């Protein structure tokens, strides 16, 4: 009856389910990965733009209040890791950042979950944002100093990339504690017990 009314039984011009399944799977993979790319690109762009503006307008200027005394702008150049740690290890930190960037990109190929996509997109933006400074800024490649300009009371000066890294890491921890995998699957206690029973019928 559906075919007679012009409505195909299948959504894909009547193609068998066996042919539709791979296409549906590809769509399911493409959505989270595109979200990952969009988040990474948007936040990386925001990081680089704000650093450019900070260098252009804050160099040699006094502290500028952004939100009263809670958040102020002060331009600094950090040769170390986040919070000015490891200032004598710039080259090693740069190499680790390269490895981390490649690792996140490889892991992103397994994405099926949108929360994981946002988390990894933030991580990639943050790592790549600071890595760009280390590779391109003075004094030389692999020794470049990271531009920091956001200042909270009693807190090391930071930048947008640092925010991305911390937010991304927090989302990763949330997903891990929830037991959600990169593919969006969640192994509940009942499922784990059923799996053990299948392995050992005596349980």
Which stretch of 38-42, 44-48, 60-64, 192-196 has the lowest confidence by average pLDDT?
Answer: 192-196
* Residues in CB range of 54: below 8 A, 6 or more apart: 73, 75, 147, 149, 159
Residue 59 lies in a domain: yes
| 107-121: pLDDT as tens digits | 999 999 999 999 999
Alpha-carbon gap, residue 100 to 88, rounded angstroms? 20
Residue 201 lies in a domain: no
Alpha-carbon gap, residue 182 to 72, rounded angstroms? 38
| pLDDT of amino acid 86 | 59
In the set 148, 183, 190, 198, the catalytic residue is: 148
Q: Are 111 and 117 in contact (CB under 8 A)?
A: yes
| Higher per-residue pLDDT: 100 or 80 | 100
The first and second tokens of residue 8, run together, are 């195909």
Active site residue 162: yes
**Of the ranges 3-17, 90-104, 162-176, the best mean pLDDT one:** 162-176
Residue 56 lies in a domain: yes
The range of the structural domain enclosing residue 123 comes to: 27-187
Active site residue 113: no
Residue 118 lies in a domain: yes
| Higher per-residue pLDDT: 143 or 90 | 143
| 155-202: pLDDT as tens digits | 999 999 999 999 999 999 999 999 999 999 986 654 544 444 554 555
Residue 197 lies in a domain: no
| Higher per-residue pLDDT: 116 or 92 | 116
Residue 20 lies in a domain: no
Residue 178 lies in a domain: yes
pLDDT, the chain, mean:
83
For 30-62, letters b (16+ CB in 10 Å) and e give eebbebbeebbeebbebbbebbeebeeebeeee
Residue 17 lies in a domain: no
| pLDDT of amino acid 15 | 56
In the set 12, 47, 162, 190, the catalytic residue is: 162
Overall average pLDDT of the 65-83 stretch: 87
pLDDT over 90 percentage in the chain: 62
**Torsion over CA of 47, 52, 54 and 59, rounded to 10 degrees?**
150
Q: Give the total number of structural domains in the chain.
A: 1
């Amino acid at each position: 009856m559906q075919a007679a009314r012009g409505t195909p039984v299948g959504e894909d011009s009547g193609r068998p389910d066996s042919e539709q399944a791979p296409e549906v799977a590809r769509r399911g993979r493409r959505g989270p990965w595109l979200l990952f790319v969009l988040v990474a690109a948007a936040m990386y762009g925001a990081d680089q733009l704000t650093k450019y503006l900070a260098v252009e307008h804050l160099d040699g200027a006094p502290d500028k209040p952004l939100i009263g005394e809670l958040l102020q702008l002060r331009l600094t150049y950090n040769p170390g890791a986040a919070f000015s740690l490891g200032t004598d290890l710039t080259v090693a930190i740069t190499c680790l950042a390269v490895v981390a960037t490649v690792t996140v990109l490889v892991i992103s190929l397994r994405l099926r979950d949108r929360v994981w996509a946002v988390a990894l997109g933030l991580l990639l933006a943050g790592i790549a944002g600071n890595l760009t400074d280390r590779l391109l800024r003075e004094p030389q490649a692999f020794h470049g100093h990271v531009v920091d300009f956001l200042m909270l009371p009693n807190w090391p000066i930071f930048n947008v990339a640092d925010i991305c890294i911390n937010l991304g890491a927090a989302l990763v921890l949330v997903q891990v504690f929830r037991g959600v995998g990169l593919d969006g699957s969640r192994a509940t206690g009942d499922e784990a017990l059923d799996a053990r029973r299948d392995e050992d019928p005596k349980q």
